[in-house]
Every structure is written in structure tokens, then in C-alpha cells.
Amino acid sequence: MKVFVLITLVFLAFYFIPFGSSVVDQSILNGFYLLQEYAREHVLLCLVPAFLIAGTITVMLKKDAVLKLLGPRAKRVVSYPVAAVSGGILAVCSCTILPIFGGIYRKGAGIGPAVTFLFSGPAINIAAIFLTARVLGWELGITRIVATLSAAVLVGIIMELLFQKEQRSNEGFMIASQTQGNFKGVIFFAMQISFLVLSGLKLAQPVKNLSLGAVGLSVAGMAIFGFSKEETKSWLMESWDFAKKILRKEDSALSFHWCLSCWTHYKGVATRCCCYAAWEK
């Protein structure tokens, strides 16, 4: 019955929509223009690097370092502040932070610190804080920092208390090949973080393109020549595993974004993705 209703609604939509109208045609076209911008700037420059970073955390970095700072048995006075401020340099949205959160949780971080990182990352990045301070004043900018960090830590502690009796499991994530993290892994991780940071900076376009190209080629070169084939394959497979899980939700968001773009243009309202409208100001 649900399939029949869906088919009927689609048929009625195509039957009654006045495609010959210039307003309708232009609305649909602008919706695809915004989708193209979303694919170029958000998917390519934010989501893809985030998936690769998550794979790097899982495969290339030492587990001991994650456990020492963010593990379930780490001191709360260390783990929660570190988790809360770690996303400050990353100009990422809630979509991009998800695979990175999955990476540190998969590597052994406690559920509390991992959730704290998940909540605070998109809200306290440098771009968001400076934009808030510039538009609404420094008092609100500082208030945003304090409120975000406090709320993120509180949510993390609540999650830790709720799930403290449950055993951690690897269900839902691939079992990555156990590789020995080393200095090369840290450099590889830092290069990918720098790409993500550069993609969010407001620079002259030629400078930005040159910088991103140089860092991207360096990452690719190091992946090919700096690690064994088994390590590189494990990194790519782990990144792809994160991508498959996150993109299921991203497809729904993308469809909603296109529908919203068409509707707002039809009503005469200019719209842009919130992630980029902030940078333009």
C-alpha cells in the first residue's frame, strides 16, 4: 500500500507541475546548481578528507596514545577537556565530524570523551567563534565557547554514566588490520588535518587551490610510497567502511537540501548552505 501511495504521489507531481513555467524551470535548475556547489565544496573538501582521517586514526596511529588521552580509564580531568577542545581547529559541520568521531571511538576512546568531541567540534571551531563574535559581539562569542564546552562535557558524562556497564564492542565497524603506529602515521595524520583546515580557510582562490593541491599530492604520495601495500589497503578499506555508514544519512540530507533549494527559489528567497554562507561574511 505504501508503494502504491508513493507511486501515485510521484505521478501526480509530474502531472501537475507546470514545467513549462520559467519560474519552475529556473527553480529546479538552481537547485541543481546548489547541489553542484555542495558536491564540490562540502563533499570533496570536507567529507572525503574526514573519511580518510577516520581511517588513519583507526589504522595508522598508536592505540596507546588514544587510550592515554581519551580512553575509558583516562582521568576525566584530562580526557574531557582534551576531547572538548580538540575540534577547535577543524572548521567542520556535524556531517564531517561523524567519521572522525567514529575513528577515535573505534580506536578505543571512551564513549564519554568521544561524544564530547562529537558535540563540541562543530560548535567551537575557530571560524564559528570569530563569526559569532564579529556579528553579535565578543561577549556572546565567549559565552558560546563556555556554553558549548560545558554542554558537551555534560552530555559526555551523561553518556558515560548511561553506558558504563555495557561492554564496548566492534560491532558496526570493520576490524582494521593491526598495524604498528609510528612517526610516519603521525605525519600522515597531520597532513590530512592540514588539508581539512586549509579547505575551510578564506584564502585567495589561486593560493588555496595551490596549497590544497600540494597537500593532497603529498598525502597521496605518502600513502603510495610511505607505507606497505597492506597498510595502505587497510587504510582505504577502513575509510570506505566509514563512508558507507555515513553516506546513508548524507544521501537523505542531500535530497532535502535540493528540495529546499528549489522551494526557496520558487518563493523568491535566496538560500545557500549554512556552512558556506558563514565564510562569505
28, part of any domain:
no
Could you tell me which residue, 237 or 64, shows the higher pLDDT?
A: 237
Grid cell 558556506 in the structure block, residue: 276
What range defines the domain where residue 113 resides?
A: 53-241
**Best-predicted range by mean pLDDT among 62-71, 126-135, 138-147?**
138-147
Answer whether residue 88 shows pLDDT above 80.
no
10, part of any domain:
no
Render pLDDT for 230-263 as a digit per residue (tens, 0 to 9). 889 988 998 888 787 776 655 555 555 556 555 5
64, part of any domain:
yes
**Count of structural domains, the chain:** 1
269, part of any domain:
no
Q: What is the DSSP letter of 232?
A: H
Length of the chain: 281
Q: Letter for the amino acid at 160?
A: E
Q: Can you tell me the mean pLDDT for 10-34? A: 79
Q: What is the pLDDT of residue 210?
A: 92
Q: What is the pLDDT of residue 154?
A: 93
119, part of any domain:
yes
Task: Please tell me the distance from the alpha carbon of residue 258 to that of residue 81, in angstroms, as a whole number.
Answer: 38
159, part of any domain:
yes
Answer whether residue 269 shows pLDDT above 60.
no
21, part of any domain:
no
272, part of any domain:
no
Q: What is the pLDDT of residue 40?
A: 74
